[in-house]
Amino acid sequence: MRVAFWRGKGSAQRPLRLSLARLAGLAALAVLLGLVGCAAKVSPPPAPPPPPPPAELRDILTLPQDVAAYFDPASLDRPLLSSKEQRRFAARLRELHFAPWHRSAPAHARADALWGLAALKPGRHYGENLRPLEPTFRARMEALAQSEGYPNLMRPAIATANTSLRVLPTHRPGFLKPDKPGEGYPFDYWQNSALLAGTPLLATHMSADGAWVLVEGRVAAGWVPVRDIAFVDEAFMAQWEGLPLGAVIREGAPVSARFADEATPAPHLFTGRIGMLLPLLELGPGGVTLLAPAREATGQAVSLAVGLAADEARPLPLPLTPRAYSGLVAQLMGQPYGWGGFLENRDCSALLLDLYAPFGIFLPRNSRQQSRQGERIPLDGLSPEAKEALLLERGRPLLTLVHKPGHIMLYLGQRNGRAVILHDLWGLRTRSHKGEEGRFVVGRVAVTGLTPGAEIPDVVRSGLLLPSFDAYTQVVPEADTARK
Amino acid sequence: MRVAFWRGKGSAQRPLRLSLARLAGLAALAVLLGLVGCAAKVSPPPAPPPPPPPAELRDILTLPQDVAAYFDPASLDRPLLSSKEQRRFAARLRELHFAPWHRSAPAHARADALWGLAALKPGRHYGENLRPLEPTFRARMEALAQSEGYPNLMRPAIATANTSLRVLPTHRPGFLKPDKPGEGYPFDYWQNSALLAGTPLLATHMSADGAWVLVEGRVAAGWVPVRDIAFVDEAFMAQWEGLPLGAVIREGAPVSARFADEATPAPHLFTGRIGMLLPLLELGPGGVTLLAPAREATGQAVSLAVGLAADEARPLPLPLTPRAYSGLVAQLMGQPYGWGGFLENRDCSALLLDLYAPFGIFLPRNSRQQSRQGERIPLDGLSPEAKEALLLERGRPLLTLVHKPGHIMLYLGQRNGRAVILHDLWGLRTRSHKGEEGRFVVGRVAVTGLTPGAEIPDVVRSGLLLPSFDAYTQVVPEADTARK
């Protein structure tokens, strides 16, 4: 049972009680200060409570949420990188993409691969019922993970579904105390990363029940349900590595198998996502034929031909123009924030990782790694004003990352002399007039200035972004560009 | 980015501010009552805040959480039903289990099958980022559901994974306002029901992108990812219906395929759950061989032989003894509450549905339907004391359901003259000393008396269970038992 009421008496009474307390407080203060005579029984009316915070960031309401708006229309189709630079980037992305198939040992030592077990402290994590995890949980995870045998599998594999890399072999969540500000749903600390269908994997280790496999992919490792992957053989790998790659550029494009037997209806395999890479079998006038993986009942992978239209997939790398980048961002604008790829959404670093992939540019998984992935410009000792001036001066639109600890953003250009960024932002720290800490939740992909929320009284000044910026990163080192 | 601090200043300050307000309030009250002279600047110390509510229900701490403890040890192996009664029940369960394969028209008319679209009111539902769903969400769901063509599929199918029946073709949640007491995670209103692997289905309708299928199963209907089901042909259905059924009795037993080719390692298919029914191919001394379904890359089902030990699966129906029932309950005791089968957990009605299935007894999906599934004893006009007395008098342990609107419980027997029940309970309504409504979350399967939480000061008296009981249900009508 759950007991739910649309409007509880308790909450209706709250404002009244607060007003009484404030009234009483004013009167008492007067007594304590000795300012009021005994006859003074009437206090001034209490100050009205402050208005509720706005529902939306001013930046989102006033800045165009369209990346193309920050470019001169005449420059929209001008490539930001030479085709030689793009080919060089794409070769590296491709190598890293297939690298898990060429590994003879795990990339992660046991303690690294199974760090989730060590993080499981009694009473620290809360489950889906918002209560501390039951005492037997840790033992169950340890039995499933059978860490003493790591690695017990070492087989090349491939993701056959869009799925999640988990810190532990379970779908159950690990929240910190759910009533702490900024904790609880959706911050499941056992959600590590999204894993896109078609990603080459090294399956290093299997759970005791055979239901979960620990895998290593291009950007991350973690536990995945065995039914979301399939094992590949030499012939499969040879076919995939013998072809160029194509990039999905339409978020949500259905990927369906074409069978030679026309009588069999094309079954849906998985949903295309920006950032997904698949071998390119054929490039036609109306679109492309790609290879997609599917899992047979035996657990082996088969390779199936799938057709996608020209606006759904293209050969890798797509020329990096403002128009092309803007077209990808437009599809993700407003998409809910997804910690660790929760529900196939993206967090701040996954957004950039996936946006760069179709252009052949590799980014690593998390914000700190990304900020060290090109030429890093540290901001030590700079005032907020100096940081913004430096960004306006040296930032290259779509090619400069902006970092603060735990958050990564993309420089878009300027508007009325102020810098503008694209990012996927959870929230800004607030303190209410009652002193309660909370979050102003943005919770999605948005275009903002460098201090979104500065206009909101509850947003804590120290929680604003710009003062914490610690580095800019030129994805393409300036030296390289000068060399061309 | 997410901004998270382990200990915010705001929350640390809160208790202090409250104490000041209370202090001030007392002083002001004294002034208003004219009881304090002008010189009185010292107020009595404020009353200490009430102690925090206990972390656990007294009933859970004091009542044995073991069903067998409520039975005379000598009676533990005595069947509660005759084998004839059990066969009659099991025949009905079997017929209902396979019924979706014999339906030539959907069981649900369009408006019923697609009610989720009509329930989607602007501003009513919140997404995974705790913000109102984006305005485009409804249009996207309508385009996917393509309701004008319902039913566009009408193919027999089978669940090949433990999955969820969803109200809309999406994994995204639909919360009511997340800061309302008892709302937000985990109460996703688009989570309808768990669907166990091996359940025969009628797939009535497919989403526009081919990724989701609307299916009808034994107890519920809803949208399911197409990759979690497979289509069956005449031969498949004939094989399955030509065999007796077996029941999984071990929660979490891995179900793995045996291939004729011994070189192929047995791949994990899905996890066994209490309540799961599969065709029984062979009954041996050490266990059973069952048939399990698996999905081929084409979307067609194949039938695979799987072996389970004698303590993992048995022929249906298992003789209904207190020991057997108790053995099943023990595996689920403390399991987190799962609204609509969220994360493969159970809600109040799913618990009973799954516990009865191995004994061959069919229960429908929700608590109201369950309370009308046998002989219903209405409780109109009875006092709480009279209700308990009637339960102690007419209740049959393990065979009498207890109902209040929105909640179903199972009568276990008595302890010290008081009735004891088994149930899966989310929470009890509370009001704090500050007047704030909340929930005392139990959030799991437990054994309690009829008024759990009565000892907790914050629990609202009107939120206690017993006063709201409105019916008892004899699962086996008394007339039938008398007839035997």
Q: For residue B462, give the chain A residue with the closest CA.
A: A3
Calculate mean pLDDT across residues A265-269: 87
Polymer length in residues for chain A: 484
Q: Do B25 and A28 touch (CB under 8 A)?
A: yes
Chain A residues whose beta carbon lies within 8 Å of the beta carbon of residue B368: none
| Residue A276 near residue A328, CB atoms below 8 Å | no
Chain B residues whose beta carbon lies within 8 Å of the beta carbon of residue A28: 23-28, 31, 43
Q: Which residues pair with A315 in a beta bridge?
A: A246
Closest by Cβ to A129, choosing from B184, B302, B441: B441
d(CA A308, CA A342): 26
d(CA B244, CA B304): 16
Q: Do B4 and A264 touch (CB under 8 A)?
A: no
What is the per-residue pLDDT for B10? 30
Is the per-residue pLDDT at A437 higher than 90? yes
Closest by Cβ to B38, choosing from A9, A38, A131: A38
Per-residue pLDDT of A113-123, as tens digits, reads 999 999 998 88
Closest by Cβ to B32, choosing from A5, A41, A252: A41
Q: Which residues pair with A304 in a beta bridge?
A: A292
With cut-offs at 50, 70 and 90, classify the pLDDT of residue A256. very high
What does the mean pLDDT of chain B come to?
90
| Residue A450 near residue A440, CB atoms below 8 Å | no
Chain A residues whose beta carbon lies within 8 Å of the beta carbon of residue B423: 1
Q: Do B171 and A267 touch (CB under 8 A)?
A: no
Closest by Cβ to B296, choosing from A37, A129, A296: A296
Residue B291 vs residues B157, B194, B266, B269: alpha-carbon distances, Å: 15, 21, 14, 11
pTM: 0.89
CB-based contacts of B397: which residues, under 8 Å, 6+ apart?
Answer: B70, B71, B80, B322, B411, B412, B413
Rounded to a whole number, what is the distance in Å from the CA of B225 to chain A's nearest CA?
10
d(CA A2, CA B339): 9
Rounded to a whole number, what is the distance in Å from the CA of A1 to chain B's nearest CA?
5
Residue B371 token pair? 């309370």
d(CA A219, CA A107): 11
Closest by Cβ to B297, choosing from A129, A302, A429: A302
With cut-offs at 50, 70 and 90, classify the pLDDT of residue A221. very high
A128, A129, A270, A339: best mutation site toward chain B, by most B Cβ within 10 Å? A129
Q: Do B211 and A427 touch (CB under 8 A)?
A: no
d(CA B140, CA A227): 28
**Alpha helix ranges (H) inside B33-122:** 58-62, 83-98, 110-113, 115-119
* Dihedral class, residue B127 (left if φ above 0, else alpha if ψ from -120 to 50, else beta): beta
Rounded to a whole number, what is the distance in Å from the CA of B328 to chain A's nearest CA?
18
Q: Do A444 and B339 touch (CB under 8 A)?
A: no
Please indicate whether residue A280 or residue A434 has the higher confidence score (pLDDT): A280
B333-363: b (≥16 Cβ within 10 Å) or e: eebbbbbbbbbbbbbbbbbbbbbbbbbbbbb
- Per-residue pLDDT tens listing for chain B (484 residues): 444 333 222 333 333 333 334 434 434 443 333 333 333 345 556 666 666 767 899 999 999 999 999 999 999 999 999 999 999 999 999 999 999 999 999 999 999 999 999 999 888 999 999 999 998 999 999 999 999 999 999 999 999 999 999 999 999 999 999 999 999 999 999 999 999 999 999 999 999 999 999 999 999 999 999 999 999 999 999 999 999 999 999 999 999 998 766 666 789 999 999 999 999 999 999 999 999 999 999 999 999 999 999 999 999 999 999 999 999 999 999 999 999 999 999 999 999 999 999 999 999 999 999 999 999 999 999 999 999 999 999 999 999 999 999 999 999 999 999 999 999 999 999 998 889 999 999 999 999 999 999 999 999 998 899 999 999 999 998 766 544 4
Question: Would you call the peptide bond into A285 cis, given omega within 30 degrees of 0 as the criterion?
Answer: no
Rounded to a whole number, what is the distance in Å from the CA of B185 to chain A's nearest CA?
7
What is the per-residue pLDDT for B176? 97
Per-residue pLDDT of A335-371, as tens digits, reads 999 999 999 999 999 999 999 999 999 999 999 999 9
A1, A207, A209, A291: best mutation site toward chain B, by most B Cβ within 10 Å? A1
Per-residue pLDDT of A155-189, as tens digits, reads 999 999 999 999 999 999 999 999 999 999 999 99
Q: For residue B270, give the chain A residue with the closest CA.
A: A211
What is the per-residue pLDDT for A15? 32
- How many residue pairs from chains A and B have C-beta atoms closer than 8 A? 285
Rounded to a whole number, what is the distance in Å from the CA of A178 to chain B's nearest CA?
10
Rounded (to 5) percent helix, strand, coil in chain B: 30, 25, 45
Closest by Cβ to A1, choosing from B161, B267, B425: B425
Residue B452 token pair? 């759990």
Say if residue A242 is exposed, middle or buried (CB neighbours under 10 Å; 0-12, 13-18, 19+).
exposed
Closest by Cβ to B28, choosing from A25, A131, A404: A25
Rounded to a whole number, what is the distance in Å from the CA of A291 to chain B's nearest CA?
14
What is the per-residue pLDDT for B47? 64
What is the per-residue pLDDT for A266? 82
Q: Do A297 and B257 touch (CB under 8 A)?
A: yes
What is the per-residue pLDDT for B48? 65
Rounded to a whole number, what is the distance in Å from the CA of A334 to chain B's nearest CA?
8
Q: Which residues pair with A303 in a beta bridge?
A: A293
* Domains of chain A with bracketed CATH: 59-81+320-482 (3.90.1720.10), 94-315 (no CATH)
What is the per-residue pLDDT for A478? 73
Closest by Cβ to A297, choosing from B295, B338, B367: B295
Rounded to a whole number, what is the distance in Å from the CA of B86 to chain A's nearest CA?
29
Of B418, B438, B439, nearest to B428 (Cα)?
Answer: B439
d(CA B279, CA B289): 9
Residue A482 token pair? 């000068």
Is the per-residue pLDDT at A240 higher than 90? yes
Chain A residues whose beta carbon lies within 8 Å of the beta carbon of residue B252: 209
What is the per-residue pLDDT for B9? 29
